[in-house]
Amino acid sequence: MSIEITVNGNPHTIPKNSSLTELLELLGVEGRLAVDINGEIIPKSTHSDQLIADSDRIEIVHAIGGG
């Protein structure tokens, strides 16, 4: 079974019951980042417990150059 989610504005299909940690591995993103799901910030310490649900809207952000 798979679910449809939106990551950084783009549609993705991932296996059901994936954790956020598994999603990040699947997407190949690592390092210093922050995640919010449906507008709620998910602390790093809970990434492995956080299950991704169908239709979740996920934002993964990092620091880039700016003034």
Using the rule CB under 8 A, is 48 a contact of other proteins?
no
> Among 5, 18, 24, which Cα is nearest to 33's?
24
**Nearest to other proteins of 1, 11 (CB atom):** 11
Q: Which stretch binds other proteins (CB under 8 A): 5-13, 14-22, 49-57?
A: 5-13
Check the CA dihedral 14-44-60-50 and report its sign: positive
Residue 37 token pair: 């799901």
CB 45 → other proteins: shortest distance, Å?
10
* Positions that interact with other proteins (CB under 8 A): 7-10, 27-36, 39, 41, 43-44, 59-67
